[in-house]
Structure 1
């Protein structure tokens, strides 16, 4: 394996080192040359059709590498895959954000001046851009240990690019990351840019994963790509949510309808529905399921999370920028606190 660039003396860590915990990943692909986190089961990837979906699932939104060390530096190198620019990396030490670092053109990054002594570090990987980790490096004489974080309840978020978070300032500042941190929950982010199409196999994935709180953000990609018509959308939402519920009886399941996108509100997409109609259909699905006994299902109106007065926080009329992600987290957090008590 080609190591990260050396700065004086350092110790290499492979991605499959047993001291490293890949939190937030569904599976991690390890080869002799690299490690790559997946947000779908890589071992069964043929059951999740779609080249774009698979590329998005190989991006590391919400994935962090956790370990204990007394090193005063942490560095690493990614292989870039594809043409997308990599988002930055974030470092958290003992639960507190320390620094954001851009990934250099050659795929390297480095954090110097870490506090002395033994600490638990979390390296939050770029939320956008396909990558493969070639390795990490720490001080040559540093101790490296497995750091099992304190048990926290599990949060799963499912959605589109808005949940994926490309436009956020850094991986710890997407709305799912900010919200999970505020609630004290352990995040698994299943936001796939352009690929939130209620895939039945993704519903089964969520059904089968541990969860204490689930957020499903539904609708914007359906409007943009015409995935469903008025006839087929409501049944698809009902089936998707019911599949999730089969594996999580009693777990709070929040369904977030689309945030505002002014140009799409009353203009029909390829499937014949406007964004306003899609928002109403999502609400209808929740009402129907609650009426049949699922009182743990809750609707959060996305237009109240980021609405018309906040449209200037959308970078392109659809995607919230850094301030938009922070606003969404501030507004979602108290809504979710009501559900978890």
Structure 2
């Protein structure tokens, strides 16, 4: 039998003529292109940002079911970026089945024990659409529960290199705390874009965290004169919709091979950390807290747990979740 999923973790969903759903984590409706025109069109303005925004990192649905199997119809479209991630099926909070994806349309059928709570976590990487979820047996969709947490950041928040979508550090933290996750990890695209600030502003939340700076360092987006003001402006836009919501700003994690190296606009990672901190402190906001990213992992841990200059391994994402979970809490 079919069961209409109560998908959560996205801002807007588009349905094409064939019934395929694309989950957008930023709202594309005021952009100067058709909803699917971003795919394979690097000439489009902000192409990579919108490609990342249409990746369903953190998007998931839950059911209480007595079915003996579930079938997910999913499409993985090739793009100019080759990465793709699997689908995770969790049963009663534990990983039950993980399925890597081929390109194209496919059906994934997973046996179930006949009783329990099922979660499907869509891939945190790739151009993914879904169509149907069907069960051999009864299944009742469950609405999202717990306070909503929005987290914004770079590839280190999108966690393309995690083992699966339920093992990104935001997913691990949200599952530990019982929170309703909205993940705005946008690989290579955390540049304080106004659309990201408006999305956070307009989405109800009980907690907001922002990991700022590593893409700005790598992309040479702002210099020492402009970066503090851009951080301040972004946070003030968010505050327009969340006057008293706790916010946590995290500066870049340690990157041992890059520390001390100026980028093309003359900023080191420590300069970026100082600029992000200055922009955040300008708000003089008692509900805004700063976390020095260098305290999350030591240089020795980073050397062991990074796959390259900045990206953690799957074990690295688990350790980041362990370190951040007690720092990301809601007031009593």
Q: TM-score, normalised by structure 1?
A: 0.87
User: Which residue in the other structure is 1:60 paired with?
Assistant: 56
In terms of fraction of residues, the more helix-rich structure is 1
Q: 1:321 aligns with which of 296, 310, 313?
A: 313
Using the TM superposition, give the Cα deviation of residue 262 of structure 1 relative to its aligned residue in structure 2, in angstroms.
1.8
Q: Does residue 258 in structure 1 map to residue 249 in structure 2?
A: no
What SS is found at the alignment partner of 1:230? coil
Q: 1:147 aligns with which of 122, 138, 142?
A: 142
What SS is found at the alignment partner of 2:260? coil
Question: 1:326-341, aligned counterparts within 5 Å?
Answer: 326-337=318-329, 340-341=331-332
Using the TM superposition, give the Cα deviation of residue 222 of structure 1 relative to its aligned residue in structure 2, in angstroms.
0.5
**Contact 1:260 1:307 survives alignment (8 Å):** yes
Whole-angstrom distance in 2 between the partners of 1:235 and 1:91: 43
User: Which residue in the other structure is 1:240 paired with?
Assistant: 234
User: Which residue in the other structure is 2:37 paired with?
Assistant: none
Question: 1:268-287, aligned counterparts within 5 Å?
Answer: 268-287=262-281
Using the TM superposition, give the Cα deviation of residue 109 of structure 1 relative to its aligned residue in structure 2, in angstroms.
5.4
Over residues 173-231 of structure 1, what are the superposed CA-to-partner deviations in whole Å (9 max), with x where a residue is unaligned? 00111111112211000010000000112111101111100000000010101110111
Worse overlay, 268-277 or 97-106 = 97-106
Worse overlay, 77-86 or 296-305 = 77-86
Question: 1:67-146, aligned counterparts within 5 Å?
Answer: 67-83=63-79, 84-104=82-102, 107-108=105-106, 110-117=108-115, 119-139=116-136, 142-146=137-141
User: Which residue in the other structure is 1:304 paired with?
Assistant: 295
Whole-angstrom distance in 1 between the partners of 2:83 and 2:272: 32
Change (3 A) 1:146 1:127: same
Whole-angstrom distance in 2 between the partners of 1:40 and 1:113: 34
Using the TM superposition, give the Cα deviation of residue 43 of structure 1 relative to its aligned residue in structure 2, in angstroms.
2.7
Change (3 A) 1:46 1:154: farther
Q: TM-score, normalised by structure 2?
A: 0.89
What SS is found at the alignment partner of 2:149? strand
**Contact 1:207 1:247 survives alignment (8 Å):** yes
**Contact 2:169 2:318 survives alignment (8 Å):** yes
Q: 1:202 aligns with which of 177, 184, 196?
A: 196
Q: Does residue 228 in structure 1 map to residue 222 in structure 2?
A: yes
Using the TM superposition, give the Cα deviation of residue 105 of structure 1 relative to its aligned residue in structure 2, in angstroms.
5.1
Q: 2:23 aligns with which of 2, 16, 37?
A: 37
User: Which residue in the other structure is 1:26 paired with?
Assistant: 11
Whole-angstrom distance in 2 between the partners of 1:199 and 1:49: 13
Structure 1: runs of 5 or more not aligned: 1-10
**Contact 2:26 2:195 survives alignment (8 Å):** no
**Contact 1:219 1:258 survives alignment (8 Å):** yes
Worse overlay, 263-272 or 274-283 = 263-272
Aligned length: 318
What SS is found at the alignment partner of 1:262? coil
Whole-angstrom distance in 1 between the partners of 2:298 and 2:49: 28
Using the TM superposition, give the Cα deviation of residue 22 of structure 1 relative to its aligned residue in structure 2, in angstroms.
1.1
User: Which residue in the other structure is 1:3 paired with?
Assistant: none
